[in-house]
Chains A and B, each alone.
Chain A
Amino acid sequence: MKKSRIARASALIIGLSLVGVACGSDDSASDGAAASCEGVKIAFFGALTGEAGNLGVNIKKGLDLAVAEFNEANADCQVGIEAYDSQGDPDQAPALADKAIADAGVLGIVGPAFSGESKAVNGKFDEAGLPIITPSATNADLSKNGWKIFHRALAGDDKQGPGLASKITADGKMKVGVLDDASEYGKGLADIVQTSLGDKAVEMNSLDPESADYSAVVTAAKDAGIDALFFGGYYAAAGKLAKQLRDGGVDAQLYFGDGVLDKGYIEAGGPAAEGSIIGCTCAPFDSNATFLAAFQAKFNEDPATYGAEAYDAATVFLAAIKSGARDRASVLAFIKAYDAPGVTKQLKWDETGEVVGTAVYAYTIKDGKIDGSLGLIK
């Protein structure tokens, strides 16, 4: 009795999944055959919510703007947007990646936003031949995996780290604590900064970004007598850290990487965030007047970190669709041959997927706002 029920249930499940598969393949077939842009989509992949969700929201806005402009200019070709909110979590990302791969309409991905999730899913995208352009994942090793589909719209941490180190040295800091959040991105960047600083660096290990209490780190920083501290991680933890360091009487100059370049850092850090120096390979938001005006007109606010890079990434995909590419392979071929100016830099990739431009910028927090007046580091 029991056995037969199980058998019936599994038969039902198998049956249902067969129907699902059949429907799925029907869809993709009709998509492939149509010459119009019916069902053609560009996907966002990254955190829209979660610890560092602001950064993903910035990216999504850049993508939204590019697609809206494209759809307005091309009434006969309306491109859709799909958003995969991974919460920046490498554990949640793979299931979402499978979903994106299974959707034959998705021709390109702006993302994955963070380095940890990139490491978890880019292999899947590579197998599926789904081209990606990340506007933000800067971990140096990402381009060394031989992924054909990988591109990034800004320079990696192998450029950012030495840039930051040279800024710290130029500021005359002699004893620099180096700390990270044990994430793919944070640890990677902190290690590069530490190597570049050489014997000026003081190893301070890792902290848990989810933890509320950093008193042990504060004590260690006080004890080490550092005059500067670099933390590789994201803005929420950086804000808590800055606050507790200042509360504990540590007045070392704070340096961060691009994961901290967000208003969330100012909210979390409060007055303690003032004067911090933050490196980024991303261009200042006002570096392109046309983009700035269009962004302000659409969202009624200034673009933030990675917004322009995401706009650039989306533009390349849209150009591919405009050129008639209707499947992933031809979009990928289009990106490989692409060489045109974007709003942040010349968009042209080498065979590993690294963009040609390597500028590193320094930002600071002044009067509760991100200030780009420090300009280029090198």
Chain B
Amino acid sequence: MPDWLIVRTFWDLTVTGLALGSIYALVALGYTLVYGVLRLINFAHSEIFMVGTFSALIASTQLLNIPMLEDGNYPYRTGGTLVLFLVFILFAAMFISGVGAVALERIAYRPLRGNGDAFGAIVLAFLTSFVIGLIFVNETKANLIIACVGTAPISYSYLRFFKKGKKAPRLAFLISAIGASTAIAEAVGIWGPNRREQYQTPRILEKKVLFNALGTDVRVDYVIVIVGALLMMTALTLFVNKTKLGRGVRAVAQDAETARILGVNVDLIIVVTFALGGVMAGGAAMLFTMVYDQSRFNIGFILGVKSFTAAVLGGIGNLKGALLGGFMLGLVENYGSALFGGQWKDVIAFVVLLVVLMVRPTGILGESLGRARV
């Protein structure tokens, strides 16, 4: 064996690569689920992840009152308190991300599917008149008043505009996705308390070395991330394969029209799909803040691109593919960094993607949510 950095530190890189890969995989599930059901790349999914990190932050600092530092050290918790706190933060992040994903579907996508309802129209109208207000006044309170006044006429015209049953062209969904993504991230960047600066999340889990294997210290946070991600993915797979709603998801993924004729409530299934993706992204966000103690208004951007890559790598629309793609991408990035230097990390990741797509255009495991067995 040559005395290269990658050889000397192989297992170290493997552990950290798998940990980051688990997070990629969880976020990738959201892209894959929505693509499988709607054939839509939900670019705003990265912002659902970002919302999850902020939910974890707010749950820790506001609801659990955890300080950033205690006597100059991290606010470590131990034993039952630690488990309870971690689980609480996890559920908070999953819940808010799930709700966020459903709201996103309602506001940004459903009107385009020709199923726009009063809720989506009112929220959209409020946002529209808020943005129009920004042109004239730059004071939050005045803007809010303008937005409220403008909501009624604009939502009326939106409802007229979104004619029932008239579906917008595919490109419109893409633009809507990109727009929603930018709008959510920028809103946090402009109105969040730290603006565009980084946020810190308090660290309650002491990052102790759990065991030493193959000459590598394995830290407890990495173990939790990898095991947690695998558990969540197992739960998701069981849900999709074993429950009635899961069967609906698979049916709509196979053929939405036939599923509708056979009595599947397609709109409900779409909501469930977005919620599932959001919950997974929320779980990923909590695990992310646990390992990296940080968030930022655009934290989802790079991570979202990587996770989308992972989904394509494994075969978009394929749940197992998302898992495989996530792990592969995390590992390839780490090995690549060790071989060529950290600045080449992204280049290597995308070269691998290109090579895989040249050999297998539908990804490693192929595109399938409904068609093949999940």
Interface residues of A (CB under 8 A from B): 49-51, 53-54, 87, 182, 205-208, 210-220, 222-223, 236, 239-240, 243, 247, 249, 264, 267-268, 270-271, 274, 367-368
Contacts and interface: CB of A to CB of B under 8 A. Distances in A.
B362 interface: no
Given A207-B342, A268-B200, A222 B195 contact: no
16 contacts: A50-B197, A51-B196, A87-B196, A208-B342, A208-B346, A211-B345, A212-B288, A212-B303, A214-B342, A216-B333, A216-B342, A220-B9, A222-B9, A223-B9, A271-B69, A368-B69
B292 A219 contact: no
Contact of B334 (A54, A207, A215, A223): A215
B234 interface: no
A208 B345 contact: yes
Contacts of A213: 16, 20, 292
Nearest to B219: A247
B73 A219 contact: no
Contacts of A212: 288, 292, 294, 299, 303
B302 interface: yes
Interface of B: 5, 8-9, 12-13, 16-17, 19-20, 68-69, 72-74, 189, 195-198, 200, 203, 207, 217, 219, 288, 292-294, 298-299, 302-303, 333-334, 337-338, 341-343, 345-346
A271 B74 contact: yes
Given A208-B343, A220-B5, A50 B196 contact: yes
Contacts of A51: 196-198
Contact of B74 (A205, A267, A270): A270
Contact of A217 (B203, B207, B303, B342): B342
Contacts of A223: 5, 8-9
A216 B294 contact: no
Contacts of A249: 217
B302 A271 contact: no
B343 to A, nearest CB: 4
Given A210-B302, A270-B69, A368-B69, A216 B16 contact: yes
Contacts of A206: 341-343
Contacts of B293: 243, 270
Nearest to A218: B16
Contact of B197 (A211, A236, A367): A236
A241 to B, nearest CB: 11
A216 B345 contact: yes
A341 to B, nearest CB: 35
The residue among A50, A211, A217, A222 with the most chain B CB atoms within 10 A of its own CB is A211
Contacts of A274: 72
B338 A216 contact: yes
A351 B27 CA distance: 55
A214 B72 CA distance: 24
Contact of A215 (B20, B288, B341): B20
A210 B303 CA distance: 10
A205 B341 contact: yes
A7 to B, nearest CB: 28
Contacts of B197: 49-51, 53-54, 236, 264
B200 A367 contact: no
A240 B201 CA distance: 12
Contacts of A49: 189, 195-197
Contact of A53 (B13, B195, B338): B195
B200 A219 contact: no
A210 B345 CA distance: 13
A222 B341 contact: no
Given A51-B197, A212-B294, A216-B338, 14 more contacts: A206-B342, A210-B302, A215-B334, A216-B16, A216-B333, A216-B337, A216-B345, A218-B16, A219-B12, A222-B12, A223-B9, A236-B197, A247-B219, A368-B69
A254 B207 CA distance: 21
B280 to A, nearest CB: 18
B328 to A, nearest CB: 16
A211 B8 contact: no
Contacts of A268: 198, 200, 294
Contacts of B189: 49
Nearest to B73: A271
Contacts of B345: 208, 211, 216
A215 B331 CA distance: 12
B304 to A, nearest CB: 12
Given A212-B294, A215-B20, A236 B72 contact: no
Contacts of A270: 68-69, 74, 200, 203, 293
A206 B337 CA distance: 10
8 pairs of A and B residues whose beta carbons are closest in the complex: A215-B16, A216-B337, A205-B341, A206-B343, A49-B196, A50-B196, A49-B195, A219-B9
Contacts of B302: 210-211
Contacts of A247: 207, 219
Nearest to B341: A205
A217 to B, nearest CB: 6
B214 to A, nearest CB: 14
Contacts of B303: 212
B13 A219 contact: yes
